[in-house]
């Protein structure tokens, strides 16, 4: 069976639409019109139009598109900010917070026309965010699954803790892990397809495939197609094999 996947989006609405166009063209060439598209999370932060990205995905799913959207760490931080602006993710360094320029929460708020200036009364900023972010967007963020598994593939935002059965994996690892996962060369059973860690170009490491090519920093957004464990990156001219 054919599956498509899209790496970390980070508010890049135009790039997302272009990725969906590349997928549509591949579907037409290969008669795979019903193949699911898995979005690997991080819809929010850094890029200019988080609101547009979320609304586009909501509208597409409502129209019957076979789209699956996984939870990323940035989506979790955005969602938890809306619940409690003082909350900071347990995996964040102590000197960082969601609205820090490195994280990009300010651009998410700006896409909803909220001025998140740290010099403002943060209770007022939070109240404005609650009024500006549609309830449908909040519900959408909260509904994302952490993984999507097939016989051959495991789609997840950040990765897995090696050696731990899927049903015992912790959410914190699935949306944040790096150091204990990326260097590990053991066979995970399924080919793990993930984002979260920016690379210059999509990479195939044999036991995992990383599709985060840096859209959050205005680099290209990667879309790929999987048939069994075979992988191709989608370009405007068609499929390009991605080999280990």
**Per-residue pLDDT at 32 exceeds 90:** no
Q: What is the pLDDT of residue 33?
A: 82
Contacts of 196 (CB under 8 A, 6+ apart): 8, 40, 41, 42, 72, 73, 157, 158, 159, 175, 176, 178, 212
**Per-residue pLDDT at 95 exceeds 90:** no
Domain count, the chain: 1
Contact 60, 36 (CB under 8 A): no
d(CA 4, CA 219): 20
> pLDDT tens digit string along 43-91?
999 999 999 999 999 999 999 999 999 999 999 999 999 999 988 898 9
Tell me what the mean pLDDT of segment 1-20 comes to: 97
Q: What is the pLDDT of residue 127?
A: 97
d(CA 33, CA 42): 25
DSSP secondary structure code for residue 92 in this structure: S
d(CA 92, CA 149): 27
Cα distances (Å, whole numbers) of residue 19 to 28, 39, 83, 138, 195: 14, 11, 32, 24, 15
d(CA 155, CA 190): 9
Give SS3 for 70.
Answer: coil
> pLDDT tens digit string along 97-138?
999 989 999 999 999 999 999 999 999 999 999 999 999 999
Domain that includes residue 222, residue range: 2-241
Contacts of 114 (CB under 8 A, 6+ apart): 125, 128, 129, 132
pTM of the model: 0.96
Contact 194, 211 (CB under 8 A): yes
Q: What is the pLDDT of residue 94?
A: 84
Give SS3 for 213.
Answer: coil
d(CA 216, CA 190): 27
Query: 30-34, 173-177, 195-199, 222-226: which range is least confident on average?
Result: 30-34
d(CA 209, CA 202): 7
Contacts of 220 (CB under 8 A, 6+ apart): 15, 213, 214
Sign of the four-CA dihedral 148, 104, 10, 222 = negative
Sign of the four-CA dihedral 8, 11, 16, 18 = negative
CATH number for position 146: 3.60.21.10
């Amino acid at each position: 069976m054919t599956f498509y996947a899209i790496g970390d989006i980070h508010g890049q609405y135009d790039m997302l639409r272009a990725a969906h166009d590349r997928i549509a063209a591949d579907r037409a060439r290969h008669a795979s019109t019903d193949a699911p598209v898995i979005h690997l999370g991080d819809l929010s932060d850094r890029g200019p139009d988080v609101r547009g990205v979320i609304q586009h995905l909501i509208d597409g799913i409502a129209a019957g598109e076979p789209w699956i959207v996984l939870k990323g760490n940035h989506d979790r931080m955005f969602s938890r900010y809306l619940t409690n602006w003082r909350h900071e993710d347990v995996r964040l360094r102590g000197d960082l917070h969601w609205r820090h320029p490195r994280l990009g929460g300010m651009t998410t708020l700006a896409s909803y026309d909220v001025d998140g200036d740290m010099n403002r009364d943060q209770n007022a900023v939070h109240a404005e965010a609650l009024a500006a972010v549609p309830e449908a967007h909040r519900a959408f963020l909260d509904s994302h699954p952490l993984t999507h598994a097939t016989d051959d593939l495991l789609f997840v935002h950040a990765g897995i803790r090696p050696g731990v059965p899927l049903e015992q994996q912790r959410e914190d690892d699935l949306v944040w892990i790096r150091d204990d996962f990326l260097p590990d060369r053991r066979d995970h059973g399924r080919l793990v397809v993930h984002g979260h860690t920016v690379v210059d170009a999509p990479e195939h490491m044999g036991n995992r495939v990383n599709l985060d090519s840096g859209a959050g920093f205005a680099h290209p957004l990667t879309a790929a197609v999987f048939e069994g464990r075979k992988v191709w990156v989608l370009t405007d001219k068609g499929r390009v094999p991605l080999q280990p």
